[in-house]
Structure formats: C-alpha cells, structure tokens
Amino acid sequence: MEASCHFAATRAAILDLRAWLAEGGLPEADLAAWELALVEAANNAVKYADAAARQLPVLIELSVGERDVEARITDHTAAFDWPAEVNLPDADSESGRGLFLIKSLTDHAAYERHPGRNVLMLRRARTLPGREVSPDVNQLQNRLADAESALTDMTAELSSSYESLVALFRYSSELGAHADLKDFSQRLLKDLVLIAEADYAVLRLISPDGNKLETLLVLPAAGNAWLDSVDLADALVSVEAAAARNCEDVWFGPEEPLGKNDPLRAVMPAGIGICHAFFVAKQPVGTATLGRQQADKPFTAAQVNLLHTFVDFLAIQIVNARLLDERTVARVTRRELEIAADIQRSLLPSSIPACPPFEVAATCRSALQVGGDFYDIISAGDGALLLVIADVMGKGVPAALFAAVLRSTLRSMPQLFNQPGELLATANRILFPDLSRVDMFITAQVAYLDPRRQKIVTANAGHCPLLVFEPGALDAMALRESGFPLGIEPLSRYAQSETMLPSGGTALLYTDGLSETRNAADELLGEGQLRRMLAETAAQTCDADAGKQILLGRLADYCNHQPVNDDQTFILIRHIA
C-alpha cells in the first residue's frame, strides 16, 4: 500500500492495514503490536525525508503466512546505520526509543539501504488460535520491564512537555503587553525551575554601559545573599562572564567546580549547574543560570532546550520593554517639543505696529521643530518701535522658556525702551543668576526705531552686527560694536549706537542662521555675501514685505532649497520716501 509522505497519510494507511489483518484472523495483541511498530517505522520515513523525498510515497507491504507476518516499509530518506544492538536509550536522550519499540514488538528487524530508497523488513510470529504457547518467562519479564521503563520515561517527558507548552503559550500571549519586566521574569523563572527540576536560578542582565552583568533575580529568594554585579572582563573568575563573553553555555559541577571567587558560590555552593547567555540580534542581553543540589543527576538535553526556549521568550520581553521605554521617552520628548513650539509661537508678535516713514517685516524659521531664535516688535510711544532679536543657546523647551523669560523681562521695562544699552544691562542683571545656574547664555540685539529723528538706536549683547544699506552704496555696512552675551558677566555694560537711516535706506537685524547658511558644497554664506544680498534686495524693491520675500528666496537659492541647518530669523527695516 502506498501512502503520501505525510504523517496523516501514513497513519490512515496503517489503520487500513490493521483492519485487513483483523479480517485475516489475527488476535488483538498481534494487531496492537503491528500497529505500533508500523507507526514508528512510518513516522521515521516521514520525519527524516527531505523536500525532494516528500514528493515520493512511502510503501508499506504486508504478507501473512501460517506462522508469521512480514512487513516491508520502503522510504526515500538519506538512510542511517542500523545499530548492532538496539537497547533502551538513556532518559535524557532525544532519540532511539522508536527503534527500541520496533525491536521489542517484532521478532526480527533488518534495514537495507539501496540507491534512492531504503527498506525496513520486520517479522513477527503469529499467535495461532487454540495453540498453547510456552513463553520464556524470564524473557517476557525482561521485555516487560524494559517496556515499562520506556513508557515511564516517555510519560514523564510528555508531562514535562505539556507543562512547558502551557507555560510558553501563556508567556507568548503576554509578549509586548506586560509592562512589569521583573514580575514577568520572576514568574517565568519560577516555572523554569519547577519544570526543569532545578533548585536554584540566577538571572542577570547586561548593564546599560555593556560592561557588567547586574542581578535581576535570585531563586529561591529567601535565605540567599544578594549577588553583586559581575564585570564582564572577569571571565576567568565568573562562569557567567565567561558564558556572556564566549557566547556559549558553561557547565559546572564536581569535575569542573565553580572557582573559589566566583560570585555564584554564594547561591550554588555545591551540586551541578549550567549558565546560558542569551542574545538579541547578536547583542548580549544577559545570563540565566540553573543549579541542582544532586551532583549525580545532570540536566537532560530536554531540560537544557527548555532553558534556552524560556530564556528566548524572556529576551523578547526585555527588548519589548526597552522599546516601550524608548517609545515613552519619544512621546514625552515629542510633547515637550510641541509645548516649546507653542511657547515659541506665542513669543512672536501677531502684527507689526505702523511706524512711518519706516516699514518693518520679520520672519522666524526654525531648523527643527523648536529653536532658540525669537524676535519681538513693541510699540515704544510717540510712534517709535522697540525691535528685539535674540538667540538662546540650545534648542527645545529650555531655550524656548528662556526666550519667553527674556521677552517678559524686556517688556516689563518700557521706561528704558529708548535706552537699549541700559535695557540690556538691566535684563542681564535680572537673568544672570538663572542663566549661569544652567550654563546657558543669550545673544541679543535691541534697536529703538525713532521715526521722528529717522534714526536707529542700538545695543548689542554678543549678537550679529546690524547691517545698514544706504542708497547709492555698493554694499551694506556692519555696525560691530558689541558686549558680552546675557548670562556671562553679571555687571556687563552695553554701549549704545545711533545710526541714521535715510530715505530709501534698509537695515537688517538677523541671527547667525543667515550668515551660516551652507550650500551644496558645504560653503558658508558668510557676512560678506549676506551684505551683498541685502544691497541687491534693497535695489529691487522699496516694500519691506516684498524685500523679506526676496531675501528668503535668495537664501533658499543659496542652499538649493534644502532644509536649513540652523534657525533663520531676521527683521528687515525700510525707510519709505
């Protein structure tokens, strides 16, 4: 009878053959023996078939004689060497029980290897009805004892496998959903100790700096000293460090005991054990160590595989927990940036007061979501304006907050609006304690725009120079007089300059994001080219808003319209005839 090379197909074929033997008068004992022997043989034919062999059928042939029944099972596997003696395998062996059952259930077994196929031949004497059989009692007792031992081992293994599967299914359902890593690890480690029949367990994780193994759990917890961290460089002292550094399991026991200085001796002073290092994406995550007091009862291969499997689940959960922490931090950071952006937007004036014969236009573009630049334009009485442009060192919420504090501080002193030098000096005295405490500073320029005298009165705290272009000039000029940034010296003084802005003239207050604009060749724009850009802009239009757009366009052309690397803020002033 041919059957497809699949477990279900061979099982169905064997049930048909059993029915056929039953019709031939075989008693139930013979039927059960042949069914079990054929199932084991057919399972091997399917289990060890490669992809090509699975396309070929498994052939099962039976012949029934007066005294015996013969079977031939033909497979297309790579074959194996039939052992000279088929004995009951050790309890921790992962294979060999099937051959032992086949030998126990039949009177003769032979395995022939042929090119492209192999044949297993089995023969068993028939139990003839009405005939007394005088069995060899000793032989039967030995075979029964062997069968009972095999069944006992198989039952224990099945029970352990069932418990393992239940635990693994439970943990797989929790992956990615459980927030408490230590609780998850403790439950998993307790189940592992129970199922693997261990007495001790230690779980350590790699420290954030990657140099140490730090203790997460020790079982049993009661009565055991807490283990200090292990330096990964101490591979000659600690089996845990050796396992992590060499990426392999390390066994210890009476023949290879723990070193006298090994930290594990505080938990596992005697007996045997195994230390397993686990990894994610080839990066070490930690070590898990199991110990047993009975030195003559080593861990089986199945129990070691169980250790590996459970710890793999733990590694996945650790990675999930770390990713969850990173996502939480990212969400908090994103929210902080949103708050800072709101603060920054709130600093900018919603409208610019009129100041004839001057026109004023301004812009503030951040390289990131939040920058340290800001500007302010405030009515200063008698038609005058106070112009403020500043750059707070740093980015994000701290920079935005200090910008807001500076804005409030300056606005609280309207009596000094027409004295920019004194205004900056007073603001510096107020802000210095807070700025110095956090090692921050602010560069700022304040300009009092006086329409009556057609002058700009300025003071500079470490900021970019005021650029002024007069009609008929080939280039704009820079007013370089400056003092310390705010927050550097508590009693800094700031010189005050007056500059005439004649009809048709243009002035520019800006942050260093303009002069430090880079092109595709990574070349800085520089102050010189910015002065020429201002002169060209002034020659094209008399309108301040139009001039702002022209200047923005020229800056974008210079960097080939790529995202800017620094904040760009400026205030453009035009004297309209």
CB 289 within 8 A of CB 201: yes
Cβ–Cβ under 8 Å, residues 218 and 199: no
> What is the rounded distance in angstroms from the CA atom of residue 547 to the CA atom of residue 252?
80
Looking at residue 149, its pLDDT comes to: 55
3-state secondary structure string across 503-552: CCCEEEEECHHHHCCECCCCCECHHHHHHHHHHHHHHHCCCHHHHHHHHH
Estimate to the nearest angstrom the gap between the alpha carbon of 349 and the chain centroid. Answer: 43
Neighbours of 314 (CB within 10 A): 24
User: And the tokens for 215?
Assistant: 């203790």
The whole-number pLDDT of residue 467 equals: 96
Q: Residue-wise pLDDT tens for the chain (577 aa)?
A: 899 998 888 889 999 999 999 888 888 888 888 988 898 888 888 888 888 888 999 999 999 988 899 999 999 988 878 887 777 666 555 566 678 778 888 888 888 988 889 999 999 998 766 544 444 556 555 655 555 554 455 444 444 444 444 444 444 445 445 557 778 788 888 888 887 889 999 999 988 888 999 998 898 865 545 688 899 998 888 999 999 988 889 999 998 999 989 999 888 888 899 999 988 777 888 999 999 998 888 888 878 887 887 787 777 777 777 776 667 777 777 776 677 677 677 778 989 999 999 999 999 877 555 667 889 999 999 999 999 999 988 776 778 788 889 999 999 999 999 999 999 999 999 999 999 998 999 999 999 999 999 999 999 999 999 999 999 888 899 998 899 999 999 999 999 999 999 999 999 999 998 998 888 888 899 999 999 999 999 988 889 999 999 999 999 899 887 766 667 899 999 998 6
Which tokens in the block code for residue 366? Answer: 């951040």
Q: How many helices (H) and strands (E) does the chain have?
A: 12, 21
**Alpha-carbon span 387 to 186, nearest angstrom:** 63
CA torsion, ordered 423, 429, 433, 435, to nearest 10 deg = 30
Question: What pLDDT was estimated at residue 420?
Answer: 97
Give the DSSP letter of residue 410. Answer: H
DSSP-derived pairing of the beta strands 2-3 and 58-64? antiparallel
Domains observed in the chain: 2-134 (3.30.565.10), 171-323 (3.30.450.40), 348-575 (3.60.40.10)
Question: What are the structure tokens assigned to 40, written together?
Answer: 């084991």
Does this model's pTM top 0.75?
A: no
- Picking from 370, 360, 359, 364, the residue whose alpha carbon sits closest to that of residue 394 is 370
Within 8 A by CB and 6+ apart from 231, the residues are: 211, 212, 241
Q: How many CB atoms lie within 10 A of CB 543?
A: 14
Amino acid at 510: Y
Instruction: Pull the structure tokens for residue 453.
Output: 């005298």
d(CA 306, CA 398): 51
Which two three-digit tokens encode residue 446? 């304040």
Backbone angles phi, psi at 32, to 5 degrees: -65, -40
Angle between helices 137-174 and 181-195 (to 10 degrees): 180
Q: What are phi and psi of 257, to 5 degrees?
A: -75, 165
Residues 6+ apart with CB under 8 A from 120: 41, 72, 73, 75, 109, 110, 111, 112
Copy the structure tokens of residue 227: 């283990």
Q: How far is CA 488 from the centre of its chain?
A: 41
Nearest Cα to 214, choosing from 287, 321, 129? 287
Burial of 286 (0-12, 13-18, 19+ CB in 10 A): buried
| Three-class DSSP category at 199 | coil
CA diameter of the chain: 136
